[in-house]
Chains A and B, each alone.
Chain A
Amino acid sequence: MIAAAHALLESGPEALWGPESDAFVDEVSCRHPAGETYRARTVEAMARCSIADDTSRGQFASDIYRHFIWTHFAAKLVMAATPAAAFGAVLQHVKLDELLRASDAIGPAILSGFHYTGYPLIALSVAMSPAAPLITKARVDVLERSDSASRLNDRVVYLSDRSAPLRLTRALKQGQSIWAMPDVVLPSVRTVQVQFLGCEMEVVAGLGRIAQLSRRPALPLFWVVESGVAALHPGPPILPEESEQEFIQTLVTGQADFVAHHPTHWLEWYSLLTDAPLVRAEVKQGNETMWSSITAALQ
């Protein structure tokens, strides 16, 4: 695995979309302690939503798992090891034109998508673009060790901070967009129950309140990373005049439609399960175990 990591890094950021990346993903995929859990629980969640049939859900889950490993390990490894080069490569591979046009048209907004394939790369590209939103993150991770992180420190808000909602609201009121992904719920955060592809789903409630207090809309975002290219597509703005519940439901419904058409690109299917926090904890623990090994490649 370390050799595969070295091969990926030595080939440069463009290798993220090449065979070196595939080889690294293969190595990490078979060693991740929570890999089997991730796949099995993804199948279970897809069945709850009647996505795909019984015979094809296993293959879907395997594809999602590879996208998960690529996102959490290959992409983050390259971003952490060679941040400047990674940023240059990302700019070549992520198309922001539609987002920037929409952003110009509506002004400061809550840029919001789910955790789709490659989301750290997408967040980096948007953060460094003229849209320059304040980026929300659940926690400090390997990326904070990199130079690119230090360039972005003043644009990152950690959701674990008590002041996070205030920082986000103030940013919007002062003319800066924010980037938030509401499909991952942190412990002790207020949630709201919404409908997602016929299932009940708990999502972060704060975006509705922040929209109302700042009087700024949400701009839903969608993307798929395919053949080394990701184009961000904004959906129709969601206005803050809606109630908090309606605001979040509208946001989630838009994402659900996208997920139904691109089921292998949503990495958080297990969010739909009643024991999602336990599954997430197991996956997170597995991630940390893997990173403790991979870090050797960074050194």
Chain B
Amino acid sequence: MKQPGVPNAATCEVYGLNATTLTHDAIMERIRAAIRSMKGAGLSDGEIGEGTALWPTGDPDQASLGFDSLDFLELVVRLEDLYGWSLPEDLIDASRFQTVGDLAAVAQAVLGGDMLVEETGVNAASAGHGAS
């Protein structure tokens, strides 16, 4: 089984990427940089953490970026333009696609050629189930 986050040559070719290994942390850093370019450089790592919700949650204890679909559009297009990432549209509609960590997990799976989509989920790799 290929390790998540380790892109193979074929995947890199499909997505127009350089054949460099991106760890989950590196992916998170790129996402944080893109979000800061939209929302302000002052956002801390903690404010853009794995568990930070992308959308408004209504839960005062839940950190959230308060995105709407246009904010998210801008983020995805920036990631596409900056890094050549191409995130699957079907996954964006998945109900469990909620946090920055979910976004990183999808990017990691795409970059690793390791996409495994469950019916209601984002990917099994991010939940520690691995991928086949």
| Tier of interface size on chain B | 10 to 19
Chain A 165-182 per-residue mask, 1 if CB under 8 angstroms from chain B, else 0: 111011000000000000
Residue B117, interface by CB 8 Å: no
CB distance from A298 to the nearest CB of B (A): 29
Residue B89, interface by CB 8 Å: yes
Please measure, in the bound complex, the distance between the C-alpha atom of A184 and the C-alpha atom of B74, giving whole angstroms: 23
Please measure, in the bound complex, the distance between the C-alpha atom of A144 and the C-alpha atom of B76, giving whole angstroms: 30
Summarize A's interface: helix, strand, loop or mixed: helix
Q: In the bound complex, do residue B93 and residue A209 qualify as a contact, i.e. CB atoms below 8 Å apart?
A: no
Given that A190-B68, A190-B70 are contacting pairs, would A162 and B77 also be in contact in the complex, using a CB cutoff of 8 Å?
Answer: no
Please measure, in the bound complex, the distance between the C-alpha atom of A164 and the C-alpha atom of B74, giving whole angstroms: 13
Residue B72, interface by CB 8 Å: yes
- Of all chain A residues, the one with the shortest Cβ separation from B89 is A163
Please measure, in the bound complex, the distance between the C-alpha atom of A20 and the C-alpha atom of B72, giving whole angstroms: 48
List the B side residues contacting A164 at CB < 8 Å.
69
List the A side residues contacting B97 at CB < 8 Å.
162
Summarize B's interface: helix, strand, loop or mixed: helix
Given that A190-B70, A206-B70 are contacting pairs, would A163 and B77 also be in contact in the complex, using a CB cutoff of 8 Å?
Answer: no
Residue A100, interface by CB 8 Å: no
Please measure, in the bound complex, the distance between the C-alpha atom of A163 and the C-alpha atom of B73, giving whole angstroms: 8
Residue A161, interface by CB 8 Å: yes
Q: In the bound complex, do residue A213 and residue B89 qualify as a contact, i.e. CB atoms below 8 Å apart?
A: no
Residue B92, interface by CB 8 Å: yes
B76 touches which of A161, A166, A189, A210 (Cβ 8 Å): A166
Q: In the bound complex, do residue B73 and residue A169 qualify as a contact, i.e. CB atoms below 8 Å apart?
A: yes
List the A side residues contacting B70 at CB < 8 Å.
165, 190, 205-206, 209
List the A side residues contacting B68 at CB < 8 Å.
188-190
B69-91: which residues lie under 8 A (CB-CB) from chain A? Answer: 69-70, 72-74, 76-77, 89-90
List the B side residues contacting A210 at CB < 8 Å.
73
List the A side residues contacting B90 at CB < 8 Å.
163
B69 touches which of A162, A170, A213 (Cβ 8 Å): A162
Chain B 21-32 per-residue mask, 1 if CB under 8 angstroms from chain A, else 0: 000000000000
Chain A 189-203 per-residue mask, 1 if CB under 8 angstroms from chain B, else 0: 110000000000000
B77 touches which of A169, A205, A206 (Cβ 8 Å): A169
List the B side residues contacting A206 at CB < 8 Å.
69-70, 73
List the A side residues contacting B74 at CB < 8 Å.
209, 213
Chain A residues proximal to chain B, CB less than 8 Å: 161-167, 169-170, 188-190, 205-206, 209-210, 213
Chain B residues proximal to chain A, CB less than 8 Å: 68-70, 72-74, 76-77, 89-90, 92-93, 97
Could you pull out 10 A-B pairs where Cβ atoms are within 8 angstroms? A161-B93, A162-B92, A162-B93, A165-B69, A166-B76, A190-B68, A190-B69, A190-B70, A206-B69, A209-B73
Instruction: Give 13 new A-B contacts, CB below 8 A, not counting A163-B90, A166-B72, A206-B69.
Output: A162-B69, A162-B92, A162-B93, A164-B69, A165-B69, A166-B73, A166-B92, A190-B68, A190-B70, A205-B70, A209-B73, A210-B73, A213-B73
